């Protein structure tokens, strides 16, 4: 069966149509161990990575949550009234705790979640994921055996199940996904919108940061579920 194309996907920067049934959340967990710096202050050629992300998301969503370890810490890049800084409701629980926090704060049926170290979010790809959400509890990109749970859409209806996992010390996102109705979006569906899959490029090491300073001709690498 051929893949269904979404008629509402637009990859042009001028497309400022807001998605009414969705909020966005950027997970800003703190210091990158291998980088040695707080990821919210990363810059590419003098431009804030977090600022780049917010610049894309604010054209798509009516509200963006920045989930931090300390809600009193607002990065300099957050200067827009559309961004709300919130602290982890269950601190020390990793990315899954950040997802839970975003779902608890949001009033929308779905939340698009991404990490703060992904400098090249593709707006068309984001809209594609949103278009697949109705009827599912999560929408997650998949590239071969790898999934991208930190560039994905989650239903608020999942938040209590996530909380139970967190309270039980089960912090791996894939364990939650195993129990949800997940719409996996395959490479073939994404390739036209983001041929290099740069949306999934994330900065974990000094080498990643150096690569990001260049023209980013290299394709991003997929990473396993956390």
Query: Does any domain span residue 75?
Result: yes
CATH number of the domain bearing residue 133: 3.90.550.10
User: Residue 178: CB partners within 8 Å, gap ≥ 6?
Assistant: none
Beta strands at 146-147 and 138-143: parallel, antiparallel or unpaired: antiparallel
Task: Render pLDDT for 53-107 as a digit per residue (tens, 0 to 9).
Answer: 999 999 999 999 999 987 656 666 565 678 999 999 999 999 999 999 999 999 9
Is 157 in a helix, a strand, or coil? helix
Report CA dihedral (133, 139, 144, 147) to the nearest 10 degrees: 170
Query: Does any domain span residue 11?
Result: no
| Tokens at 40, concatenated | 């919210």
Angle at 153 between CA 214 and CA 56, to 5 degrees: 40
DSSP count for the chain of H helices, then E strands = 7, 12
Query: Does any domain span residue 223?
Result: no
Query: Does any domain span residue 14?
Result: no
Residue range of the domain that includes 120:
22-213
| Tokens at 93, concatenated | 């629980």
In this predicted structure, what is the pLDDT of residue 168?
A: 96
Query: Does any domain span residue 4?
Result: no
Mean residue pLDDT across the chain: 86
Cα 177 from chain centre? 15
Are residues 147 and 124 in contact, defined by beta-carbon separation less than 8 angstroms?
Answer: no
Number of domain units in the chain: 1
Q: DSSP letter string over 64-123? A: EEEEES-TT---TT---TTEEEEE-SSTT-HHHHHHHHHHHH--SSEEEEEETT-----H
Global confidence as pTM: 0.86
Query: Does any domain span residue 157?
Result: yes
Task: Render pLDDT for 103-130 as a digit per residue (tens, 0 to 9).
Answer: 999 999 999 999 999 999 999 999 999 9
Query: Does any domain span residue 17?
Result: no
Query: Does any domain span residue 10?
Result: no
């Amino acid at each position: 069966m051929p893949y269904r194309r979404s008629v509402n996907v637009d990859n042009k920067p001028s497309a400022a149509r807001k998605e009414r049934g969705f909020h966005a959340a950027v997970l800003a967990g703190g210091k990158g161990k291998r980088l040695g710096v707080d990821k919210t202050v990363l810059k590419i050629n003098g431009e804030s990575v977090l600022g780049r992300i917010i610049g894309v998301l604010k054209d798509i969503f009516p509200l963006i949550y920045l989930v931090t370890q300390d809600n009193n810490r607002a990065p300099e890049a957050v200067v827009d009234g559309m961004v709300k800084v919130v602290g982890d409701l269950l601190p020390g629980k990793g990315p899954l705790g950040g997802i839970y926090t975003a779902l608890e704060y949001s009033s929308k049926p779905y939340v698009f979640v991404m990490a703060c170290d992904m400098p090249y979010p593709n707006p068309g790809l984001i809209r594609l994921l949103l278009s697949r959400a109705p009827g599912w509890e999560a929408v997650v990109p998949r590239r071969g055996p790898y999934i991208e749970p930190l560039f994905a859409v989650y239903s608020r209806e999942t938040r209590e199940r996530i909380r139970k996992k967190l309270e039980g010390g089960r912090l791996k996102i894939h364990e939650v996904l195993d129990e949800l109705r997940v719409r996996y979006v395959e490479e073939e569906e994404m390739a036209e919108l983001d041929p290099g899959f740069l949306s999934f490029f994330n900065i974990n090491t000094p080498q990643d940061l150096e690569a990001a300073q260049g023209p980013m001709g290299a394709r991003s690498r997929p990473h396993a579920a956390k």
